[in-house]
Amino acid sequence: MLEVIIIIIISVTIYRRVQRRKQEGESGGSQPAVTTAARPQQRMRNTPAKNAIQEAREDGNNTTAYLMEKAAADAKEHAREKREEQKRLYETRGGLAVAERYLPENEIPRGKKCVICGYCGAENLIPVSPGTRYSCYFCREPL
């Protein structure tokens, strides 16, 4: 829940920033052009979230910058946990990747196909030409 709130705060902050930029226009901006030109590499490498954090800090919004940094760290941690969970599942199922669930109300995404599990009958989404073998998302039987 806290994550959701932080993400909303970030979205609102970024949205406001974009709106402000638009209002300032390209020529009337308060930032000298030199600032941007001096570090184009850095600007391009940074993610929008990192840029927003840096800008918040430059503007003196240290609390906002802290919250955004924390949210970014939380998101990273969450992604890492997810990867580890996937890896654990992969290893416990003898090298089978777990298929995605197919919801009948959704279209089948490009490059995917729907496979009915022979054991439980669940509808699974797997790549059309899978490089690895998949197991059913529901019962984990090989597809």
Give me the residues that bind Zn ion (CB under 5 A), please.
117, 119-120, 122, 136, 138-139, 141
Counting Cβ atoms within 10 Å, is residue 133 exposed (0-12), middle (13-18) or buried (19+)?
Answer: middle
Closest to Zn ion by CB, 9 vs 119, is: 119
Closest to Zn ion by CB, 6 vs 122, is: 122
- In the complex, minimum distance from the CB of residue 65 to Zn ion, in angstroms, rounded to a whole number: 47
Closest to Zn ion by CB, 74 vs 141, is: 141
- In the complex, minimum distance from the CB of residue 119 to Zn ion, in angstroms, rounded to a whole number: 5
- In the complex, minimum distance from the CB of residue 92 to Zn ion, in angstroms, rounded to a whole number: 16
56: closest CA among 84, 20, 99? 20
Closest to Zn ion by CB, 90 vs 138, is: 138
β-bridge partners, 134: 97
Q: 24 near 30, Cβ under 8 Å?
A: yes
Q: 113 near 100, Cβ under 8 Å?
A: no
- In the complex, minimum distance from the CB of residue 121 to Zn ion, in angstroms, rounded to a whole number: 7
Closest to Zn ion by CB, 49 vs 115, is: 115
Q: 125 near 131, Cβ under 8 Å?
A: no
Q: What is the sign, positive or negative, of the torsion defined by CA atoms of 122, 124, 129, 132? A: negative
- In the complex, minimum distance from the CB of residue 136 to Zn ion, in angstroms, rounded to a whole number: 3
Only one residue has tokens 């529901």, namely 138
